[in-house]
Amino acid sequence: MIGLFDSGIGGLTVVKALLEKAPKADFVYLGDTARYPYGNKSQETVERYAKEDAEYVIKQGAQLIIVACNTASSLALPKLQETFPNIPFIGVVKPAAQAAAALGRHKIGVIGTRATVNSGIYEKVIKKYAPSAEILQRACPLFVPLVEEGLLDDQVTKTMVKRYLMPLRQANVNALILGCTHYPFLKPLIQRFMGKKVKVIDSAGTVIQQAMENYPDLFLAQDNPKQTITFTETSSASDQVASRWLGRQVKGVKADL
């Protein structure tokens, strides 16, 4: 079974990619909606939350964990690997950074939570694969609560897209990494604002592809696949956004960590 976790509903962008590539694989998803967002928390707190999230999906039977959260991938991945040495972890940062570097474009924008941006992880990883790339980063802290509230095409959201991304558009970036798994919910707005010439990259598809290449047996079709979506705080709003995004009826299960 594949385990995935995020601070909230954002990691469902990775679940959607999983269902597109392996629709009958076993998985359990945990969204820590009771404690989101992670992006304004300290590293110590993010490590503790991520450890508890991982413990939960392991108890559900996860043999591989996809950390479907950029903040946790940036701040907690080494701690997770140390704490659970027998469980492989795959974060979302490296696949997105590799995808951006592979484009051969030299001015790359990165947007994410404050914690992700302040960690500098994207610049470090991109530079490993594209040493000459110029990296411009912007924290967009209000995007996560706007997505969690389901305000995907609201005027307030459009205003914040313009406010956060105008400096990157004016700087003429030619690629933009969505450094938070919540942000693909806003990809249409972001792409429209940045323009067709800017390649907008999210890590959902790339992280699933990497996981499938490394652990193919876990993605095999099952006759009666166990596919569970859990939240630490359930709500009709989360269920509605999840249902609309995944194209299926979602009734989140309450997870007690």
Name the strands in the sheet holding 227-231, side by side, starting at the edge strand that comes first in the sequence: 89-91, 64-67, 2-6, 27-31, 227-231, 253-254
180 is catalytic: yes
The residue type at 214: N
161: helix, strand or coil: helix
140 is catalytic: no
Nearest Cα residue to 13 out of 226, 180, 161: 180
SS3 content of the chain, % helix, strand, coil (to 5): 50, 15, 35
Tell me the CA distances in angstroms from 61 to 36, 131, 165, one per residue in order. Answer: 24, 40, 40
In the set 121, 161, 180, 218, the catalytic residue is: 180
In the set 12, 50, 62, 69, the catalytic residue is: 69
Q: Which residues are catalytic?
A: 69, 180
